[in-house]
Amino acid sequence: MAIDDFVRDREKEVRELERNLYDEIMSVIVGLLFVNGKAVFDSRNINLITAVDSAFDRWNVQYQAPYFRKILTHLGTLDDFYVNQFVAKGLNATSFEGFGALMGRMEDYLRSVSILDPVKAEVKQYLLGAISQGRSMGTIRMGLRNILGLKERSGVLNRYYRAFIFDSIMQFDRILSNAHAKQNDLTYFIYEGGLIETSRDFCIRRDGLMFRRDMVDDWAKDPTLPGYPDVADYDPLVDMGRWNCRHYPKWLTDEEADEINKGNRGG
């Protein structure tokens, strides 16, 4: 499975994770005290908000941890994937020596991301405000559904994963493929991944085109690059179209590149 397809599948699963998180949070706040249909702003209800942490802990064990294991399992197959891919091209490909360290770094990173501090803070801040304003249980439910993406807008968990997980998966794959390409002296690649409705000009201008490794240095000077001109930390072969970009380099042998060039010249 191409890495962009894998990430899109994981994005789709977040909707279910958000529903599960909502259920866990509701199992806690169902204990809120109401008088005349309005939440009471007292120490009992305020302390109950703190107990929302236990809902996150249960949800993590039952839902988020298996989700992250699925991600790590897939990433763990990528070294063999690139070896097999390059062997199929007739190259004497071998494993990347630093793969174990790369996986260890990713495991540590996902462990830190799993704490979800910004997500917890947004949920608890909303609940505190709702209680202080004496909102009804129905209103509180609707507010939580809105925050967690169970209505039309993107939920806080989806936004968090977009910011801290999905881009990291793409970068992991690009780092590894680039390492294998260097080991096998490959210098040409196709800007692979296709286009969607939200594709940005930077990617639209490059999608499906072939480049040499030494042709990417000027990409940081392209004003259509997201975040331009703040590009000091931009690495073209790792970041490509930057955040939310699902493109990746499809590496080519010199012979494959020559065939493409001949085709572009009309034979």
Give the count of domains, the chain: 2
DSSP letter for each residue of 51-78: THHHHHHHHIIIIIHHHHHHHHHHHTTH
In the prediction, which pLDDT does 222 show? 95
Report the candidate in 163, 172, 157, 174 with the shortest Cα–Cα distance to residue 243. 163
In the prediction, which pLDDT does 2 show? 85
Query: Both 229 and 267 in a single domain?
Result: yes
Using the 3D structure, point to which of 116, 132, 166 is the last residue of a domain. 166
How far apart CA 193 and CA 167 sit, in angstroms, is 14
Query: Both 45 and 147 in a single domain?
Result: yes
Q: Looking at the domain assignment, is residue 179 inside a domain?
A: no
Question: Cβ-count burial of 117 within 10 angstroms (0-12 exposed, 13-18 middle, 19+ buried)?
Answer: exposed
Q: Looking at the domain assignment, is residue 173 inside a domain?
A: no
Q: Looking at the domain assignment, is residue 130 inside a domain?
A: yes
Q: Looking at the domain assignment, is residue 43 inside a domain?
A: yes
Q: Looking at the domain assignment, is residue 172 inside a domain?
A: no
Give me the percent of the chain exceeding a pLDDT of 70: 98
Q: Looking at the domain assignment, is residue 180 inside a domain?
A: no
Residue with the two structure tokens 């958000």: 18
Query: Both 230 and 161 in a single domain?
Result: no
C-alpha angle 158-161-162 in degrees, rounded to nearest 5: 85
How far apart CA 55 and CA 34 sit, in angstroms, is 21
Q: pLDDT (tens digit, 9 = 90+) per residue, 155-179?
A: 899 999 998 999 999 999 999 999 9
First and final C-alpha spacing in the chain: 32
Residue/partner pairs of 206-215 with CB below 8 Å, 24 or more apart = 206/241, 206/247, 207/247, 210/252, 210/257, 210/260, 210/261, 212/187, 212/188, 213/181, 213/187, 213/188, 213/189, 213/237, 214/187
Domain that holds residue 95: 1-166
| E strand intervals along 91-239 | 188-192, 210-212
Query: Both 153 and 203 in a single domain?
Result: no
Query: Both 215 and 152 in a single domain?
Result: no
Query: Both 146 and 213 in a single domain?
Result: no
Query: Both 109 and 198 in a single domain?
Result: no
Structure tokens given for 76: 């763990």
Structure tokens given for 161: 């994963």
Using the 3D structure, point to which of 112, 132, 166 is the last residue of a domain. 166
Using the 3D structure, point to which of 131, 166, 201 is the last residue of a domain. 166
In the prediction, which pLDDT does 265 show? 64
Query: Both 149 and 210 in a single domain?
Result: no
In the prediction, which pLDDT does 30 show? 93
Q: Looking at the domain assignment, is residue 55 inside a domain?
A: yes
Query: Both 120 and 238 in a single domain?
Result: no
In the prediction, which pLDDT does 198 show? 87
Query: Both 77 and 137 in a single domain?
Result: yes
Give the residues of the chain that fall short of pLDDT 50. Answer: none
Query: Both 111 and 232 in a single domain?
Result: no
Residue with the two structure tokens 């070896």: 83
Q: 3-state class of 205 per DSSP?
A: coil
In the prediction, which pLDDT does 178 show? 96
pTM (two decimals)? 0.90
In the prediction, which pLDDT does 152 show? 67
Structure tokens given for 2: 């191409």
Query: Both 198 and 66 in a single domain?
Result: no
Q: Looking at the domain assignment, is residue 131 inside a domain?
A: yes
Q: pLDDT (tens digit, 9 = 90+) per residue, 220-243?
A: 999 999 999 999 999 999 999 999
